[in-house]
Amino acid sequence: MSQSVTPFSLRLNREICRKRTPALVGLDPRWEQLPPDIQARSRDLYDDPLVQRAAAFEEFCVRLIDVVAPLVPAVKPQAAFFEELGPDGCVALARVIRYARQSGLVVICDAKRGDIGSTAEAYARAYLAGADDKAAPWGADALTVNPYLGADTLEPFVKVAQERGAGIYVLVRTSNPGAGTFQDRRHEGETLYHAVADVVEKLSAANAAGPDEGLGSYGSIGAVVGATYPAELSQLRQRMPHVPLLIPGYGSQGGAAADVAGGFDAQGLGALVNSSRAINFAYQLAPYSEQFGPRKWEAAAEAATRQMIADLAKHTSAGKLY
């Protein structure tokens, strides 16, 4: 990595300290759940249903970014919802990523890509901008990556990430009910997700920044570890000391703040905790639905974000930096 490029892990940890929270807001636009006024406006403006939806997704995400940018260090747009709208959705995704970065947020594009050799490198070049906004068409700070194809297929992602000061988050243990089908299979006593974790730790340790600025010794190769399995989370935190974690499953998927405590180091660093639907569509959920309703969806999202931040603050380390 060129000396002039600030590593992803350092940029991320600075933002966590600056915002004083490890809360990560997922951007998961779902047409059926969008506030009715956003739906209606895009229907008035555009004829093509895909263009309507893409415009509505962009407006919704931009307004949500305005709500959360002062509060949290990072956002995680879900690529699938944009891709479902075809190329117009892809344009909207690129704009949403750019707007989030301009708003001072670290952006983790959740696209779960994975392929071999030069094909993997093409995905990395598509999504990883790192320090330079113009380096990639979807100019994110980090990308989620699927490890099934093998350790060699992670290397092109690592190479591009290091060149650009970007990061990747490799799927280690996911938060879905059937995550164990393959991930829990044991070989000589070790599960598959342990094996993936060991590969990720090795990759991240090799490029760890050193304890710069007192922010720990993390590399830029992260791991996705679901909050639905708290005991595993603590074990994986210890097993991957140089790996920043991305913890989904908080909120709508059933994880609670106490469940994610094991994901943090003694300084309160080392993990981001994601909530998507419970913040995006807080206006439809108790206790916010009664107080706010659809016209005040942004106030509901802000209240839900502040609640998440407060919940996380109770359960992260007492000795934390922020």
Nearer to a copy of itself, 30 or 320 (CB): 30
Report residue 259 as tokens.
Answer: 């469940």
Q: Catalytic residue among 76, 112, 159, 296, which?
A: 112
| Residue 175 Cα to chain centre, angstroms | 14
Nearer to a copy of itself, 195 or 269 (CB): 195
Q: Render 104-155 in DSSP notation, one character per residue.
A: T-EEEEEEEE--SHHHHHHHHHHHB-TT-GGGSSS-BSEEEE--TT-GGGTH
The answer to whether residue 180 forms part of the interface with a copy of itself (CB under 8 A) is yes
The answer to whether residue 148 forms part of the interface with a copy of itself (CB under 8 A) is yes
285, amino acid identity: L
Footprint on residues 248-287 left by a copy of itself (CB under 8 A): none
Binding range to a copy of itself, per CB under 8 A, among 38-46, 76-84, 213-221, 292-300: 76-84
Binding range to a copy of itself, per CB under 8 A, among 11-19, 148-156, 285-293, 311-319: 148-156
Q: How far apart are the C-alpha atoms of 96 and 93, rounded to whole Å?
A: 5
Reply yes or no: is the peptide bond before residue 244 cis, omega within 30 of 0.
no
What are the strands, taking DSSP E only, across the chain?
A: 23-27, 74-77, 106-113, 142-145, 167-173, 186-187, 190-191, 221-225, 245-247, 271-275
The answer to whether residue 87 forms part of the interface with a copy of itself (CB under 8 A) is yes
The answer to whether residue 30 forms part of the interface with a copy of itself (CB under 8 A) is yes
The answer to whether residue 183 forms part of the interface with a copy of itself (CB under 8 A) is yes
How many CA atoms lie within 13 Å of 309's alpha carbon, on the beta-carbon side? 18
Q: Report, in Å, the least distance between residue 170 CB and a copy of itself.
A: 10
The answer to whether residue 78 forms part of the interface with a copy of itself (CB under 8 A) is yes
The answer to whether residue 115 forms part of the interface with a copy of itself (CB under 8 A) is yes
Give the number of residues in contact with a copy of itself, rule: CB under 8 A: 55
The answer to whether residue 147 forms part of the interface with a copy of itself (CB under 8 A) is yes
Q: How far apart are the C-alpha atoms of 174 and 186, rounded to whole Å?
A: 16
Q: Report, in Å, the least distance between residue 210 CB and a copy of itself.
A: 28
What's 179's DSSP letter?
T
Q: Which of 86, 230, 241, 294 binds a copy of itself (CB under 8 A)?
A: 86
The answer to whether residue 128 forms part of the interface with a copy of itself (CB under 8 A) is no
Per-residue burial over 60-88, b = 16 or more CB atoms within 10 Å of its CB, e = otherwise: bbbebbebbbebbbbbbbbbebbeebeeb
Q: Which of 65, 195, 215, 312 binds a copy of itself (CB under 8 A)?
A: 195
Q: How far apart are the C-alpha atoms of 232 and 211, rounded to whole Å?
A: 26
Q: Report, in Å, the least distance between residue 200 CB and a copy of itself.
A: 12
Provide the 3-class DSSP secondary structure of residue 66: helix
Q: Which of 80, 206, 266, 310 binds a copy of itself (CB under 8 A)?
A: 80
For the CA atoms of 190, 171, 259, 180, what is the dihedral angle to 10 degrees? Answer: -50
Q: Which of 3, 4, 178, 314 binds a copy of itself (CB under 8 A)?
A: 178
Residue located via tokens 């569509």: 281
The answer to whether residue 199 forms part of the interface with a copy of itself (CB under 8 A) is yes
Residue located via tokens 């600056």: 18
Residue 112 is a catalytic residue: yes
**Footprint of a copy of itself on this chain (CB under 8 A)?**
30, 50, 78, 80-81, 83-87, 89-91, 94, 112-120, 122-123, 125-126, 137-138, 146-153, 171, 174-183, 185-187, 192, 195-196, 199
Q: Which positions are annotated as active-site residues?
A: 112
